Each structure stands twice: as structure tokens, then as C-alpha cells.
Amino acid sequence: MDEISTWILEFVLRQDIPSALLRRLVLLLLPSPSPSPSPSPRLTKTLLLRHLLSLLPKLSTETLDSIELLQTLAPNPNPDLLRSAYLHAAVGATFSSPNFPGAVEDIWTGRVGCLLKSSGASKDALASEELSEWRRRMEAASSRDEAMKEGWDAQGAVDAVAAYARAEFEAMGPTFLEAAAEYLRVLGESTSGAAERQRKGKMMAAGSSRAGSKRRKKKNGVNAKRVCNPILTPEVQKVREALIRSSKALQSVVEDPLPRAKEIADGLMARKSGAGIHVEEPRENSDQSEENRNMVDKSAQAHPADNAPDGIHTEGRCKHPNDATKASLMDRNPTAQTYEWDDDSIDFSSEDGTGQSKKLHLPTQRTKPSSPLKVLEVNQKVKLARGRKRRRWTVLEEDTLREAVNTYGRGKWKKILTSYHEIFEERTEVDLKDKWRNMTR
DNA sequence: CTAGGGTTATAT
DNA sequence: ATATAACCCTAG
């Protein structure tokens, strides 16, 4: 995984992502050497902390595993909170286990026993007087009630773990992307050098040290340019490229609003025109365009959360599985120009101060084909031109597919697709089958 | 809907 | 230039 994916993953992990997805990411990235080099310590830590929090109302041995792993990651800015979290998690896990003697054996004789015996880093980080005290108490007790009678605050234990995780996040500071965004915002507000240097320092603290030194080297050559156009700093360029490149990965997290909007629009169309839907291919504009706008507005109202912030775009994928044959208003218009996030079509620069900006201008509507023959020809062209954009399979998708084939069996592609549709977004059952064929060759 | 052959874009 | 992965077509 490269540095840029790391920034983005870290950012994504700090967001509110579905717990199922988080779990998968944990399984994918954590158990140390998965495919290639393990992720950066910072990312690993983020992942572990998120995992820890996601387990939370419950305390289990999984909680303990997470904390033990976290303990191995330097630096450890909150040693007291870490010890406290471990203690509370251990006690909590013991009490919430259905098998009290078994849990004591596993947690207190096993884990804690080893921990207290061994000397060195892990002992320093996790062991405490209180922990050995609890160990004595647990091993002496013959039942859960007996162990608990000296007082135990279950909610307090959960709070202790949460407090530790929050403190760690706090100590880590904002994610690299957030810091970069903040830096640029401030840079845009004031061109004062002092402020710039201050923010810069803050940002560097957030990023990995490797990233920092790399960029510092680059900085000098482009300084003149960035003063007059803060949007063009190498940092933005880099982040922008990263966002584009990673949009594929993000697609499994961020829903593309377009298919949904189209669905709604089609629904409205169907209701409006009764049974038959026929829209002339090259549409006469003016009178219908008003209606068209309304429909878009309505769909926007129905899904306010889908409005992505400016600059973060998912690709405009218009095709909807069931609509391949229907020509609808929302389908890609062959005569219109769309702005796509293709890697090589990105050019935000307007270096020439001539004010002659490169505006997109939509060509005026072509005259509609006169003969039926021509209509056919145009339709064919549309069909040919409408191949899906190639999208590489993510590791998450591959993993999910493997797991799904294990549970449902090879050949149950439709079933697999529907039960994991949130992960196989925009894939068809045929894609799954093809992918499986590729994977097993 | 699935299987399997065919086509094309992309990585090596 | 070639191999491979992703995608397409279509019979059954």
C-alpha cells in the first residue's frame, strides 16, 4: 500500500463507516503480514482504535486482543489510560463471559499471568498493581458473584476503554487529509508567511515523517507559483491525484447518488406519462428542460445526504442494470459533454492570467436525425459507446467473493450478489462469475 | 440465471 | 509484444 492510500484510508477510518466494513478492513489489514508490507503504524493504530471502539458496549477477549496489539505500537502517549483500559477490559470480559471459570482461566491465568511474569515492554505498558490485585481476586473466587462482590462498575469499565481510545485519537491529531485541507484553507484566507509556517508545522506533525521529508525537498522549486495561486500547491496536487486514484476504493464506502436519482426520475416519468414511456432520442430541449430540472431537484431533496461535498466526486456512472434498453432523460447524452474524473483529463490550472478560462460549453442540440434509419444508427452508437468503465477489483471485493463462494457455493452468483450488494456495488452476477474464473485460473 | 467462449483495456 | 483481468455476448 502506498503512502497516499494510507492517507485516504486513515481519513475514511475516522469517519462513521458501517461496522461490517470496518470489520472487513480489520481482518484485511491487521493480522500482521497480509499480502505485502504491513500498513504504516499510524494507520494500524487508527484501525485498531476504531475496532476497539466498534466493539464497545461489550467487553470481550477481542477487546483485550486489540488493546494488547495497540500496546505494541509506539509511541504510547497515554500509558495510564492504556493500563486502565486493559484492566477494565479484562475484568469486564471476565464478568460478561457465560463461562466464568473458563474466562478466569483464559484471561487471568493465561494472558495476565504471562504478562505479569514476563518483564519488559509489555509488562511496563499493561501491568499494574491493580491488575495483579484483580488477578488474585479472580483466581480465588469460585463464582462470578463472589468475585464481583467487592464492587464493580460495568459502565465505568466501558468508559475507561472509550476514554483511552479517544485520548489516543486526540494525541494523533487530525488525519493527514484534514490537516492538509485546514492548511490550505488558512493559506487561502491570509497569505501571511507566519501563519503559513505555523500551519505547516501542524500539518507535518500529522503526516508520516517519510511524507514530510519527501515534500520538504520538493518545496523550494515551486514556491513562486504557489504564492499567486494557493490552489496549485504540490500538496493539493498530490492529494487531488490521490483522491482520484482512490475513488475506486472509496466507491465501496460512498454511495454513488446517480443511479438512485435516475431511478426516481424514471419513476416520476413513468407516473407522468402513464403506461408507455417513449422519449425521443435527441430531445427537443426548452419546454422539457424545465421539467427535467425539477426532477433532479426532487431527487436531491429525497436524498440530501447524497450530496457529496464539492471536489469529491464519484464517477458518473449512469447505467442502471434494468435500463439498458430504455432511453431516458437521465441517460448519457451522446451529444453532451460530461466532465469526467479521468486521470489525464484533470487540469485545473489557469496559469495564463488572460482571464480566458477554459469553460465547458455544451454544444447546441443537434438537429434530430431525419430518417428512421438514422435513428437506428444513433441508437446503435449509443449502445456501443456505453461499455462500462473498467474498474479493478478491490481486495475487499475479492475477499468477500471468496468467503461468499465458501458459504453459498460456486454458481450462486445472483444470490451472492444480492447478499453482498453493498460491497459488490456496480458489479453484476456475471462479473462475479468472471472474477471467480479469473481467481481460480 | 449460469456457463463458457469472445473481446478489449491494462499491466508487465 | 504478450499476458492477464475485466467486461461482453449468448445458448441453453
Q: Distance between CA atoms of A326 and A277, rounded to whole angstroms?
A: 9
Å: A360 CA to C4 C1': 38
CA–C1' gap, A386 and B6, in angstroms: 18
Domain locations in chain A as residue ranges: 257-349+361-385, 395-439
Smallest CA–C1' separation from A411, nucleotide:
B2
Q: How far is Cα A213 from Cα A298, in angstroms, rounded to an integer?
A: 49
A392: the nucleotide nearest its CA (via C1') is C6
The closest nt to A390, taking CA to C1', is: C6
Residue A373 has pLDDT above 60, yes or no: no
**Closest C-alpha among A202, A250, A316, A252 to residue A5:** A250
Residue reference for cell 518483564: A119
Mean pLDDT of chain A: 63
Strand B–CB A315 distance below 7 A: no
Per-residue pLDDT reduced to its tens digit, A331-348: 333 333 333 343 333 333
- d(CA A252, C1' B3) / Å: 28
Most confident of the following: A1-15, A63-77, A366-380, A394-408:
A394-408
Distance in Å, residue A433 CA to nucleotide B3 C1': 9
> What are the residues with a C-beta under 7 Å from any atom of nucleic chain C?
A 387-393, 427-428, 430-431, 434-435, 438, 441
Q: What is the pTM of this model?
A: 0.43
Is any atom of strand B within 7 angstroms of residue A159's beta carbon?
no
Phi, psi of A365 (to 5 degrees): -60, 130
The secondary structure of residue A112, as a DSSP letter, is I
| Polymer length in residues for chain A | 441
Strand B within 7 A of A391 CB: no
pLDDT band at A435 (very low <50, low <70, confident <90, very high): very high
Q: Which long-range contacts (CB under 8 A, 24 or more apart) does A353-360 make?
A: none
CA of A403 and C1' of C12: distance in angstroms?
Answer: 29
Segment A301-325, tens digit of pLDDT: 333 333 333 333 333 333 333 333 3
Bases on strand C under 7 Å from any protein CB: 4-10
More confident residue, A379 or A73: A73
Nucleotides of B under 7 A from a protein CB: 1-6, 9-11
In this structure, is the CB of residue A411 within 7 Å of any atom belonging to strand B? yes
What residue is closest to C5 (Cα–C1')?
A438
For residues A108-126, average pLDDT: 77
A433 touches strand B (CB under 7 A): yes
Architecture of domain A395-439: Orthogonal Bundle (1.10)
Contact by Cβ (8 Å): A2, A214 = no
